Amino acid sequence: MTAFPEVNQVVFEGPQSKNPLAFRHYNPTEVVEGKTMAEHFRFSAAFWHTMRGSGADPFGMGTMCRPWEGPVDDVENACKRVRVFFEFCQKMQIPFYCFHDRDVAPEGKNLAETNRNLDEVVKIFKEEQERTGIHLLWGTANLFGNPRYMHGAATSCNADSFAYAAAQVKKALEVTLELGGQGYTFWGGREGYTCLWNTDMKREVDHLAAFMHMAIDYAKEIGFQGQFYFEPKPKEPTKHQYDFDSAACINFLRAYGLQDYVKMNIETNHATLAGHSIEHELEYAAMQGFLGSIDANTGDMLLGWDTDQFPTDIYETTKIMLCLLKYGGFTTGGLNFDAKVRRESFSPIDLFYAHIGGMDAFAKGLKVAAEIRKSGELQQMVAERYASWETGIGAEIEKGTQNFKTLSEYMLAKGDVEGIVSGHQELYENVVNRYLF
């Protein structure tokens, strides 16, 4: 049985190809800067969007045509859907996937039945992983969809909601371990607030930290050695999410002694919602040693919410790849397409077009980034900009041999600052563009 009879394996045909079901730039075995493209990207498909995205929005019901879906959302249907997902990943040459517990299996009458449902579906995941060689990049738990989490999960005002979330993450960790998952992600969901009048912020943030410590303790207990990730998002669904951006998350991790266990999973559209760019968020996390994984997507410049579109902007992918190359790339992480097809793109084939576009945009970005790095032009210009730190007073400040008194004496003798040069921003922009067109 095949869910996508019209698609064979999507393969690399080269930049001249006009075949909409072929890669023009993504060539998994092509080596760039000493690694194959497959190793650089570690592409992953998101089960929640690719298999569960219905196309519903606040104004209208689902639109997606998914012929493999049965009339009821039961375990049997869920198992069938898993097989379709693996057919899709295999045809796309996507080596990893990510999922939430509730994406893959329906909730039962109570927690025990829900856990049993999950176990049934996980068996199929295991079979399909073995059949295809596709791996789990990270697992996670949906701690935001059910009404029991209306006030948050770990940060809820209701202790039972916290306890239920703990039970859910316990199970999600077990399942992630069972599937050989390489990571586990915390995304805040509703861990934030909308009205400070009714909110005890300190208590909530303390609870979030306690919750993460419990997860880490339990992971140790069961022998889960995957990497934990924290995924920043400034707002949506709540007005103020506690995991606002890289800087806020890293501060939280350090304040609560979690910094040795958790790295960042950075999402493009979340960065822009925070008023940053993805490259800012990546650079900040990486320079602090917290670069973990990426949720690749893009927002719409004219819309103020998480539109989760597939990335197609080569300028943007070039910037992401420049940062990844600079910091040595992924170890446990990967490039997970946390992206969905538009509501109007309802046919199954659109899932292929969407992922092909994203993978090609990143492959082209990687090639451009590698060219920029090879010439060394930009690095040279930046080095010149900071030249005053290489010798003289600059080098001494960096060595730590100066203080306010000695610097004051230095400046009193010198009289004023010398050697300020232009920032040449426009020149930098032109240099980058030279590699793009």
Residue with Cβ nearer ligand XLS (27 or 140): 140
Q: From the list Ni ion, ligand XLS, none, pick the one residue 151 interacts with, judged by a Cβ distance below 5 to 8 Å according to partner type.
A: none
Q: How far is 59 from 6, CA to CA, in rounded Å?
A: 32
Containing 45, the helix (H) or strand (E) segment is: strand 43-46
Q: x/- contact string, 92-111, with ligand XLS (CB under 6 A)?
A: --------x-----------
Q: From the list ligand XLS, Ni ion, none, pick the one residue 268 interacts with, judged by a Cβ distance below 5 to 8 Å according to partner type.
A: none
Does 44 help bind ligand XLS (rule: CB under 6 A)?
A: no
Q: Active-site residue among 25, 49, 100, 207?
A: 100
- Applying CB under 5 A, among 295, 354, 359, 369 the residue interacting with Ni ion is 295
CB of 330 to Ni ion, least distance (A): 16
Of 20-28, 97-105, 338-346, 427-435: span binding Ni ion (CB under 5 A): 338-346
Give the nearest residue (CB) to ligand XLS: 187
Q: How far is 411 from 363, CA to CA, in rounded Å?
A: 50
Does 128 help bind Ni ion (rule: CB under 5 A)?
A: no
Q: How far is 345 from 147, CA to CA, in rounded Å?
A: 30
Does 267 help bind Ni ion (rule: CB under 5 A)?
A: yes
Q: x/- contact string, 176-205, with ligand XLS (CB under 6 A)?
A: ---------x-x------------------
Nearest residue to 235 via CA among 245, 221, 227: 245
Q: From the list ligand XLS, Ni ion, none, pick the one residue 244 interacts with, judged by a Cβ distance below 5 to 8 Å according to partner type.
A: none
- At residue 212, φ and ψ (nearest 5 deg) are -65, -40
Q: Active-site residue among 40, 49, 103, 355?
A: 103
Strands 35-36 and 31-32: antiparallel
Containing 265, the helix (H) or strand (E) segment is: strand 262-267
Count residues near ligand XLS (CB under 6 A). Answer: 10
CB of 289 to ligand XLS, least distance (A): 22
> 3-state DSSP: the chain helix, strand, coil percent, rounded to 5?
50, 10, 40
Which parts of 116-145 interact with ligand XLS (CB under 6 A)? Answer: 140
Q: Is 135 a catalytic residue?
A: no
Question: Are 121 and 105 contacting, i.e. CB atoms less than 8 angstroms apart?
Answer: yes
DSSP H helical ranges for 133-200: 159-178
Residue with Cβ nearer ligand XLS (25 or 100): 100
Q: x/- contact string, 76-115, with Ni ion (CB under 5 A)?
A: ----------------------------------------
Q: How far is 222 from 243, CA to CA, in rounded Å?
A: 27
CB of 110 to Ni ion, least distance (A): 29
Q: How far is 78 from 84, CA to CA, in rounded Å?
A: 10
Does 306 help bind ligand XLS (rule: CB under 6 A)?
A: yes
- Applying CB under 6 A, among 87, 245, 267, 281 the residue interacting with ligand XLS is 267
Does 338 help bind ligand XLS (rule: CB under 6 A)?
A: yes
- At residue 311, φ and ψ (nearest 5 deg) are -75, 130
Q: From the list ligand XLS, Ni ion, none, pick the one residue 140 interacts with, judged by a Cβ distance below 5 to 8 Å according to partner type.
A: ligand XLS
DSSP H helical ranges for 73-227: 75-92, 101-104, 111-132, 159-178, 201-222
Count residues near Ni ion (CB under 5 A). Answer: 4
- Applying CB under 6 A, among 103, 295, 316, 360 the residue interacting with ligand XLS is 295
**CA distances (Å), 187 to each of 87, 155, 182, 190, 396, in order?**
28, 13, 17, 9, 43
Question: Are 53 and 85 contacting, i.e. CB atoms less than 8 angstroms apart?
Answer: no
Q: How far is 13 from 117, CA to CA, in rounded Å?
A: 42
Q: Is 308 a catalytic residue?
A: no
Containing 69, the helix (H) or strand (E) segment is: none
Give contact residues for ligand XLS (rule: CB under 6 A): 100, 140, 185, 187, 231, 233, 267, 295, 306, 338
Contacts with Ni ion, residue ranges (CB under 5 A): 267, 295, 306, 338
Indicate which residues carry an active-site annotation.
100, 103
